[in-house]
Structure 1
Amino acid sequence: MPQLDTSTWFTTITSTLLTLFIIFQLKTLTHQFPINPQSTYLKQTKQSTPWEKKWTKTYLPLS
């Protein structure tokens, strides 16, 4: 049974990681981010639900 040649693994893994890093950097450079983002105030409105308008009976457990 022949031995597995692992002499090129370091070069392959290193070049793969370097390539992925460069691709990631190029992808993030294409995005435009605002310099000074302003927080927007979102007005919260209360939504009425059907069960808030109705009375419900509460039954006590049998003793």
Structure 2
Amino acid sequence: MPQLDTSTWFITILSMLLSLFILMQTKISSFNYFPLPTPKLLASKKPENPWNSKWTKIYLPLSLPQH
């Protein structure tokens, strides 16, 4: 029964790993990544309520001036 020749296995496996590494590196380097999201600076706008357009003041009984 003939013996299995394993003398070329090392170079075959090594070249396979090297080619897979190069292939993955080219795939990753050609991938388009989205830029990191940056927070938008929003101007805080007060909500327009109908009661904001008029000057109103509520007088509480305890806040009235003392006589």
Normalising by structure 1, we get a TM-score of 0.54
Counterpart residue number, 1:51: none
Please list the CA deviations of residues 14-34 of structure 1 after superposition, one character each: whole Å capped at 9, or x if unmatched: 000000000000001111223
Larger Rg: 2
Please list the CA deviations of residues 4-59 of structure 1 after superposition, one character each: whole Å capped at 9, or x if unmatched: 000000000000000000000000111122343348xxxxxxxxxxxxxxxxxxxx
CA distance in 1, matches of 2:6, 2:36: 50
Identity rate of aligned residues, in percent? 54
Normalising by structure 2, we get a TM-score of 0.51
Higher deviation after alignment, 1-10 or 28-37: 28-37
Counterpart residue number, 2:45: none
Point out 4+ residue stretches in structure 1 off by more than 4 angstroms.
Answer: none
Q: Flag structure 1 segments of 5+ consecutive residues without an equivalent.
A: 40-63
**Aligned-residue RMSD, C-alpha:** 1.8
For the residue of structure 2 that corresponds to 1:16, the secondary structure is helix
